[in-house]
Amino acid sequence: MMRRRTIKTWWVIAAFISGLAFALAAEDLILSTQDNRLEFAAPRLHFLVGKPLERLRNAAEVSFAFHITLFSGNQTHKLKETASRFVVSYDLFEETFSVTKLVTPRRTARHLTNISAEAWCLREMSMDVSGVGVKEPLWARLEIRAEDTKDGGLPFGRGNITDSGISLTSLIDIFNRPPAVTQAHFNVETGPVTLDELRHSR
């Protein structure tokens, strides 16, 4: 009798872990809710790689433009979108990353590994979903583009950064243009999912 109960418990644990692992493996973009905010994670997506990483290891700072779009209906209706810019640099001596979110006031996180730097950026992209129907099927798309700061030394070019911060319009405009051939860019999507499902899956 005792033996049967033990097996059942392990079965639940194994199912939970494998389910979680499957969820992580199956979806590139993972959604979760915290109060009225939709949060994002993409543990399989690594943007601190290749040319951007090469530049970072050469003491340069690299800017990344993030854009998240939330769709509803049949993935045709753009419900919400948010965009942000992050400047990443790599400490040559500590061999850790530093990330600054270009908002007013600035937010910076230091002494991060590459994984935690990537995760910090995504956590900063959370979206207010108050007013979105809990049963409404949602799709989310994340786009990340690395920008070359060589042009004038200003991330995302001159004129986009003002005293009041960064022009959101210009930032969203970036994603309305196709990425340059040499530009590192990443896209991941997920859905359909409802807020109700997300709240119950916590």
Cβ closest to other proteins, residue 77 vs residue 111: 111
Residue that has been written with the tokens 């992209």 in this structure: 125
Instruction: Determine, following the binding rule CB under 8 A, whether residue 89 of this chain makes contact with other proteins.
Output: yes
Part of the chain binding other proteins (CB under 8 A), chosen from 7-15, 65-73, 75-83, 187-195: 7-15
92-111 binders of other proteins (CB under 8 A): 92-93, 98, 100-102, 105-111
To the nearest whole angstrom, how small is the minimum distance from the Cβ of residue 149 to other proteins? 8
User: Of 115, 6, 4, 102, which Cα lies nearest the Cα of 62?
Assistant: 102
User: Does 126 help bind other proteins (rule: CB under 8 A)?
Assistant: no
Q: List Cα–Cα distances, 64 to 61, 99, 115, 152, 183, in angstroms.
A: 10, 10, 15, 16, 11
Residue 33 φ/ψ, nearest 5 degrees: -115, 145
With binding defined as CB under 8 A, does residue 66 bind other proteins?
Answer: no
Q: Is 37 in the site for other proteins (CB under 8 A)?
A: no
Least distance in angstroms from the C-beta of 108 to other proteins: 5
DSSP state, residue 3: H
Total residues contacting other proteins (rule CB under 8 A)? 43
* Integer Cα distance of 38 and 45 in angstroms: 18
Q: What distance in Å separates the CA atoms of residue 97 and residue 50, rounded to the nearest whole number?
A: 15
Whether the Cβ atoms of residue 195 and residue 129 lie closer than 8 Å to each other = yes
Tell me if 17 contacts other proteins by CB under 8 A: yes
Residues binding other proteins (CB under 8 A): 9-10, 12-13, 16-17, 20, 24, 41, 43, 58-61, 87, 89-93, 98, 100-102, 105-113, 115-116, 119-120, 122-123, 149-150, 153, 155
